[in-house]
Amino acid sequence: MDEELESHMSNDTRRRTRITVAAVLLLAGAIAVPVANGAVTDQEGGDAKGQGKHCTLNAKTGETQCFESLSKATGLPDSDRLLDAPDAEAGKAAKTSEARAGDEPVASSGIDTKAEGDIIAATIFKNTKYGGGSLTITNTALCESDDEVDFQIDLDESWKNKVSSIQPWGRCTLNLFSEPGLGGERDGPFDELTPNIGDAMDNRAQSISFS
Amino acid sequence: MTRRKKLSMLVIAITTAGATALFPATAQAEEEQPTTRELLEQCNDGTDVCVFHPSGAPVDSMGEAHQVGDSAFNCTKDLQRSSVGWSDTTGESNTVGVSMTAEYGFTDLFKVTIQASYQHSWESSHTEEQQTNVEVKPGEVGWITREAAMEEVTGTYEMHFGDKFYGHYIWYVPFTAKGPKADAPSTKTQHTRKMTKKEKKQHCG
C-alpha cells in the first residue's frame, strides 16, 4: 500500500498535499487531548433513573451507542456458562488436578482482548451499587495516572445530575464537577470502584476529568 | 534525495504512525488464546493491575426445587402428621468451576469487591437444617422440596500485564458467579400423592 501511495504521490502534487493534510490531521487527532460530549441519545424516551439503558461514549470521537445490556455495550460477552465449584477441600485438590474444567474457554468469544484504541476508561451508573443505566467511556490509551488531565467529558442531559456510582478503569482517576467544562464544585479523586459516590456529588455531576 | 522525495517519505511515515496508533493490527485473533482459568490465575500473581468490575447489582433467583429428607409413607388408616428431618447444602458455581474459598488472587479480589460494593459477604456454601411437618393421608406418600435463594453476580476482570501475555498487555475477562444468598429464606414445600402399588408393597408389607 505504501509503495502504491508513493507512486501516486510522485506524479500528483495535489494528491500529495491532500494526503499530507490527512496524515497530519490523523496524527494530531491521536495526540490532542480529546474533549467529548456525552451525547447519549434517548430514543426510547423517559429515561427514568434506574432504567437499564447501557451506552458507550468514545471520548475521542464523541460517538455514542446504546445497548440493552452492559455486556453488549462493552462488547464483552457475559459468561453464561456456570460450572459447579467444589467446596474448599475439593477446591484445593482441584488446584493441583490435571483435569480442570475451567481450563476450557467460556465460549468462542468468551475471552476478549482490547487493543490500544479501545481502552475502557470508566463506567458510570445512575444508581448506587452499579445499578440502573450505565455509560461506559472509552479512550485510545490508558490514563497517565499523574496530575494532568488526560481528557474530559461533559455529560449531556441524559446524564447530567444522575451519576450515583462509578468504576474507574484503565488506570484512570476521575474527578466529578458540578458544572460543564470542569466547572463548579469538584469531588474526587476517585481511583477505585465507588458503589456510592456520596452526598457531595450524588446526582450532581455534569462533567468528568480523567487523569 | 530530492526535496519532493523526502516529503513523500515523511508523509508515508506519518501516515503509518497514525494508522498504527488508531487502528492496531488484529492479527492476534489467529494466535493461541489463553483459557479463562489461565488468565484468572494470573490475577495479582503476574499482573500489574487486576480489578473485578461488577456489571450491575446482584440478580436474585431461586434455585431448582429438589427433595430434602426422606419420603413419609402412611400405611395406616388415619391421617398422619409426619415430621421430616433434613439437612441441605447449597453450593456455588461460576465460570471456571473454582470455589471462592480456594486461595487465588481472583477469588480474594472477587470476595473483597462483593463486600465493598454490596455490603454483604459472598457465600460459597450454605447449609440449612430443619424438621418440617407434612400431613399424609392414608395410602399416600409425602415429601418436602426446597428451593434455595441464590444470587448471581456478573462482571469483568480487568487485567494489566507488565509484559505481554498471549500477545496483549490488557485482558478483559468476563466472569459470572452464582451462590447462595446470605440471610435469605429458602422456600420449603410439602407434597403428597397416592402411593404406587410397588411403594405399598415395599413400605407397607
ipTM: 0.75
Read off the pLDDT of each residue in A59-81 and give the average, rounded to a whole number: 77
State percent of chain B over pLDDT 90.
Answer: 71
Residues of A in contact with B15 (CB under 8 A): 5, 19, 22-23, 26
Q: Does A48 touch chain B (CB under 8 A)?
A: no
State percent of chain A over pLDDT 70.
Answer: 57
| pLDDT band, residue B162 (cuts 50/70/90) | confident
CA dist A186 and A208 (Å) reads 9
Confidence (pLDDT) at B165: 86
Q: Answer yes or no: do A90 and B99 touch at CB < 8 A.
A: yes
SS3 annotation, chain B: CCHHHHHHHHHHHHHHHHHHHHCCCCHHHHCCCCCHHHHHCCCCCCCCEEEEEECCCCEEEECCCEEEEEEEECCCCCCEEEEEEEEEEECEEECCCCCCCCCCHHHHHHHHHHHHHHCCCCCCCEEEEEEEEEEECCCEEEEEEEECEEEEEEEEEEEEEEEEECCEEEEEEEEEEEEECCCCCCEEEEEEEECCHHHHHHHHC
pLDDT, one tens digit per residue, over B69-81 is 999 999 999 999 9
Alpha-carbon distance B179 to nearest alpha carbon in chain A (angstroms): 10
On the question of pLDDT at B63 being above 80, the answer is: yes
Q: Does A90 touch chain B (CB under 8 A)?
A: yes
Q: Closest partner residue to B24 among A71, A117, A127, by Cβ? A: A117
Comparing B196 with B167, which gets the higher pLDDT? B196
Residues of A in contact with B35 (CB under 8 A): 102-105, 111
Q: Does domain A34-76+112-210 have CATH number 2.70.70.10?
A: no
pLDDT, one tens digit per residue, over B85-144 is 999 999 999 999 999 999 999 999 999 999 999 999 999 999 999 999 999 999 999 999
Residues of A in contact with B154 (CB under 8 A): 71, 78-79
Confidence (pLDDT) at A26: 33
Confidence (pLDDT) at A21: 32
Confidence (pLDDT) at B168: 82
Mean pLDDT for chain B overall: 85
Q: Answer yes or no: do B156 and A74 touch at CB < 8 A.
A: yes
Q: Answer yes or no: do A10 and B124 touch at CB < 8 A.
A: no
Comparing B30 with A41, which gets the higher pLDDT? B30
Read off the pLDDT of each residue in B51-66 and give the average, rounded to a whole number: 94
Confidence (pLDDT) at B189: 96
On the question of pLDDT at B177 being above 70, the answer is: yes
Confidence (pLDDT) at A77: 64
Confidence (pLDDT) at A73: 74
pLDDT, one tens digit per residue, over A96-143 is 433 344 444 333 223 344 444 578 999 999 999 999 999 999 988 889
On the question of pLDDT at A79 being above 90, the answer is: no
Q: Answer yes or no: do B14 and A27 touch at CB < 8 A.
A: yes
* Count of CB pairs separated by less than 8 Å, A with B: 202
What are the angstrom distances between the C-alpha of B99 and each of A77, A84, B107, B125, B175? 22, 8, 8, 9, 13
pLDDT, one tens digit per residue, over A26-62 is 333 333 333 343 333 333 333 444 445 889 999 888 8
Alpha-carbon distance A132 to nearest alpha carbon in chain B (angstroms): 8
Alpha-carbon distance A173 to nearest alpha carbon in chain B (angstroms): 14
The full set of domains in chain B, from first to last, is 51-204 (2.170.15)
Q: Answer yes or no: do B22 and A94 touch at CB < 8 A.
A: no
Read off the pLDDT of each residue in B14-41 and give the average, rounded to a whole number: 56
On the question of pLDDT at A3 being above 50, the answer is: no
Read off the pLDDT of each residue in B6-34 and give the average, rounded to a whole number: 42
Q: Residues 113..142 of B with a Cβ closer than 8 Å to A: which?
A: 113, 116-118, 124-125
| pLDDT band, residue B32 (cuts 50/70/90) | confident
Q: Does A33 touch chain B (CB under 8 A)?
A: no
C-alpha cell at A162: 444522575
On the question of pLDDT at B196 being above 90, the answer is: yes
| pLDDT band, residue A180 (cuts 50/70/90) | very high
Confidence (pLDDT) at A30: 32
Confidence (pLDDT) at A192: 95
Read off the pLDDT of each residue in A66-80 and give the average, rounded to a whole number: 72
Confidence (pLDDT) at A10: 40
Confidence (pLDDT) at A27: 34
Residues of B in contact with A105 (CB under 8 A): 33, 35-36
Q: Does B20 touch chain A (CB under 8 A)?
A: no
CA-wise closest residue to B71 among B192, B198, B197: B192
